[in-house]
Homo-oligomer: A and B are copies of this chain.
Amino acid sequence: MTEKPGLSIWESTPEASLVQSRGILTQIVHEHVDALVGKFYSVFLTHSEGSTFLSHSVVNDRLHSSLRRWLLDLVQTDPDGDLSGFDARQIKIGEVHARLKIPNHLVMEGMTLLKSEISRRVAQNNPDAVQVATTLILLGELVDYSMRLMTRSYVTDTTRRVQTDEAFRLFSLGQDINLERETQRAALMEWSQSVLFGLLGRGNKTLPVSLSASPFGLWVRHRAALLFQGSPILRSIEKLMIEVDEDLLPSIDSETPSSIVALQERMDEVKFHLNDLFQAAANVENGTDPLTRALNRRFLPSVLSREITLAKEGPSELSVLMVDIDHFKSINDTHGHSVGDIALSHTAATLLDFVRVSDFVFRYGGEEFLIVLVETGRTEALTIAERIRQRLAALDIPLSEHENLKITASIGVATFEGHPDYEYLINAADRALYEAKRSGRNRVIEACAA
């Protein structure tokens, strides 16, 4: 491609025609700039998603003038000249959108609207079909070029922000989380106690401070919402708080025992949810599976995606093993789930012990493990898989003083062959595993080429 990506019209159109089209665009935008900005506002102020971003008066004023400036900049800039200043301005706009969290697709919608509005006006003043088409193509390429630059910086800055947000969330979670749980249980108790004392001491004269406005309520909205992002349990707590504040508190009365009982019940519910909340977070945030110490499957895309990029760029190879314990269901059925768990943890320990520090072992499913072998080609991966199969078959898993459990495993092997989608590699290993199962178990089968 040329140095002016996307401005392909520049190469395929006679210069005189382009100069004329630029003239037409410049004239129309200059003449109609207020109408264009006005149309933009009339559409987006009633737009379900867009209106929230335009509500504040400062934004309104600023955007009005910056949209005007952007339109004039667009037609004044010579696409055949030095674009570095224009580029820098588009990049800056994308950064501002990222900071204000204005979704990129919304900006794109605005761009389409402006293109259509200008295009309509071009056709109204010009009877020459070819000239109209040239002008509309030029307009489209210019606006799209600007939008691409905005998108690039928007995506860069947004991903950077998301990364920092997640780091902050995990940092906050990493602080003493048990202390936090107890502190908040205490804050909750303190509030209900103050309500009760208020009722008894002051003869129910003053309305107590609401639960939402208490330190516990503040914590729920500002800290818990950060720590337990989007947890349904958190929403239950918020719902209960509103119930307490709106339904119970106004009518609570020390002379009406049922109102006190109702409050107590709600408090117990909140406490119960609070415990659940911390418990659920402990499970989700685990990087490893507590039973097997293998990596949590949710990190598989992170690892495989990275490793595929490395394998694509360099000469190094990449293989994946899918390991599944044979007849696991019958182990569970015959000996019970605790023996099944023992088999799982011994298998995982064997795998973790076997691989290098640069490899990755994931708990993929119930009795299924996925191993990522970095810088490992087909032949080597098959050798490693076969050794793992033998090692597992040789295990004596002690169940009691006199009883050992024997297990075998089937293994599917797939080697990266250039397809950039990690799901493709996982599926290949999965199909090979299926084939190993089907052909009799306790064996290693290699994925056939796609």
Q: Which residues of A contact B (CB under 8 A)?
A: 1, 5-6, 8-9, 12, 43, 46-48, 52-53, 55-59, 96, 99-101, 103-105, 108-109, 111-113, 115-116, 119-120, 122-123, 126-134, 136-137, 140-141, 144-145, 147-149, 151-152, 155, 158-159, 161-172, 174-175, 183, 215, 218-219, 221-223, 225-226, 287, 298-299, 301-303, 305-307, 309-310, 312, 316, 356-358, 374-375, 418-424, 450
Contacts and interface: CB of A to CB of B under 8 A. Distances in A.
A287 B113 CA distance: 44
Contacts of A164: 298-299, 301-302
Within the oligomer, what is the number of copies of this chain?
2
A46 to B, nearest CB: 7
A152 B151 CA distance: 11
14 contacts: A9-B116, A12-B120, A105-B149, A108-B151, A109-B144, A116-B137, A162-B166, A165-B302, A168-B302, A218-B374, A221-B375, A222-B358, A223-B357, A226-B306
Given A103-B152, A419-B56, A287 B171 contact: yes
B133 A120 contact: yes
Contacts of A105: 148-149, 151-152, 155
Contacts of A148: 105, 108-109, 112
A316 B212 CA distance: 11
A133 to B, nearest CB: 3
Contacts of A166: 162-163, 166-167, 170
A171 B158 CA distance: 22
Given A101-B305, A223-B358, 6 more contacts: A1-B43, A12-B120, A56-B418, A119-B137, A218-B358, A221-B358
Contact of A356 (B218, B307, B419): B218
A5 B46 CA distance: 12
Nearest to A224: B358
Nearest to A309: B101
Q: Most chain-B CB neighbours within 10 Å: which of A46, A168, A215, A222?
A: A222
A144 to B, nearest CB: 4
A230 B162 CA distance: 17
A17 to B, nearest CB: 11
A164 B171 CA distance: 14
A116 B419 contact: no
B103 A155 contact: yes
A156 to B, nearest CB: 10
Nearest to A147: B108
B133 A119 contact: yes
A108 B111 CA distance: 13
Nearest to A150: B105
Nearest to A52: B312
Contact of A126 (B111, B115, B129, B167): B129
B58 A6 contact: no
Contacts of A218: 356-358, 374-375
Contacts of A306: 165, 225-226
Contacts of A167: 166, 170, 287, 299
Given A167-B170, A299-B171, A158 B161 contact: no
A1 to B, nearest CB: 5
A111 B171 CA distance: 41
